[in-house]
Amino acid sequence: MAAHYHVIPWAQADAAARVRARAVVTNGSTGLSVDELATLPALELIASFGVGFEKIDLSAAHARQVRVCHAPDASSQVVADHALALMLALARGIPALDRGVKAGGWEALRAARPSLRGKTLGIIGLGNIGHRLAKLGEAVGMEVAYLWHEGTRGDGYAPHDDAVSLAAASDVLALTCPGGPQTHHLVNAPVLRALGPAGFLVNVSRGTVVDTDALIDALARGVIAGAALDVLETEPVVPDRLRAMEQVILTPHLAGRSPQTRIAQHEALANNLNGWFERGEPAHRVRPPA
């Protein structure tokens, strides 16, 4: 970006620099608050590097007529791939089996593990990532259900009006929805009870979608069979109890990271900035809040 724009790191931007700034580049996890927005009187564009924008104050931006943009489909396939890998590893117990064999075990580790074929994959967030995960689930022989909301395109999958109903119908509950206030702790104790003692939870969305305390309690008491989490409410800090659980798989919020997606995110960012400053419209605008 420095070849085309005057770029100032946020930490180095004094009051004079913020007064002049016409665009801010951030991401969903960092966002831009209403207080930060107030320090940017000339701001025209907030560009999120990546798909997420949950910590950008959309209402405040819209009130100021500041455009918000992101990279809506740059990492969808690799996130869906990662979710499938977590589902398979969780169901088949791959991490524990790997550790056991490397420690010298064999026969005692050969207990039967569940297959995903014939099971139901429940998806919360049937958007770009969710649709790709649904196709992958079908490819390994799963039925697909999803949480319906207005505007969701179901493609013949089984809709459910609430998360408890969806969890009750699912063997694996996968989260591919946006973060933010609307999905905060959407997966809570009642949802986990509905998922049941043979059910698995997979989260590749945002840590805030899951009530962490309720999840740890459900795992400890066998309310659900296991969880695979790429994201956490407390990240990068990992709760000690989660670290100690054999039925939990953890990855460090990298589901969307690959060389290809990084290039696609850079291209989307460039197209958004250039689109705004050259043509008056970013390439991938986030719709204003209702």
Residue-level pLDDT at 290: 65
State pTM to two decimals: 0.91
**Torsion angle defined by CA atoms of residues 114, 201, 262 and 49, in that order, rounded to the nearest 10 degrees:** 170
Per-domain boundaries in the chain: 10-73+258-279, 76-250
Cα–Cα distance, 240 to 220 (Å, whole number): 13
What kind and span of H or E run contains 173?
strand 172-175
Sort 130 into a burial class: Cβ within 10 Å, 0-12 / 13-18 / 19+. Answer: buried
* pLDDT band, very low/low/confident/very high, at 289 (cuts 50, 70, 90): confident
Q: Is 3.40.50.720 the CATH number for 76-250? A: yes
Distance in angstroms (rounded) separating the CA atoms of residues 82 and 129: 11
Asked if 178 and 151 count as a contact pair (C-beta separation under 8 A), the reply is no
Nearest alpha-carbon partner for 5 in 32, 25, 19: 25
- Report domain 10-73+258-279's class: alpha beta
Query: What would the pLDDT profile of 115-156 be if each residue is shown by its tens digit?
Result: 999 999 999 999 999 999 999 999 999 999 999 987 788 889
Where in the sequence numbering do the catalytic residues fall? 206, 235, 253
For 161-176, the pLDDT digits (tens) are 999 999 999 999 999 9
